[in-house]
Amino acid sequence: MRDKTPKRQAEDLKELVVGYVKQETLDPIKSSGRHLGFGVGGALVSSIGVAFLAVGTLRLLQTETTWLDGPWSRLAAYAIVIGALAVGAGVSFTAARPPNNADATSGSAKAAKGKKGKQR
């Protein structure tokens, strides 16, 4: 390493840093493209399914019930849309919740915790 000139050492350092940045940032982004595609596709299919379910529920209520005749028929459409949005929000918040840390404790920690409780 001592026989290299400072200019060559600077070039080697630059190559090393560029390679590291590519390895740690660009490569993981490229490899996560498949997961991103499946996520977007799943979200699209799920949203289409929820829309069909909402329209089907509205049509079922309109044809099978009598209380939606007259002025209540417009209110039912809004109620179905609000209900579908509420269900979607609930599913999203449930899926986005961080994992429970109590499940991550090791068996030895649980055993030690259990022994402390028994000593009292």
Q: What domain range is 51 assigned to?
A: 41-96
The answer to whether residues 27 and 56 belong to one domain is no
Q: Computed over its alpha carbons, how large is the radius of gyration of the chain?
A: 29
Q: Is the pLDDT of residue 58 over 70?
A: yes
Cα angle value 54/38/28 (rounded, 5°)? 145
**pTM value?**
0.52
pLDDT band at 120 (very low <50, low <70, confident <90, very high): very low
Q: How many domains does the chain have?
A: 2
Question: Does residue 48 carry a pLDDT above 80?
Answer: yes
Sequence-ordered list of residues with C-beta below 8 angstroms from that of 88, at least 6 positions apart, any chain: 50
Does residue 64 fall inside a structural domain?
yes
45 shares its domain with 80: yes
Helix or strand or coil: residue 71? coil
What is the mean pLDDT of the segment spanning 5-10?
89
Q: What is the pLDDT of residues 69-86, one digit of tens each?
A: 777 777 888 888 898 889
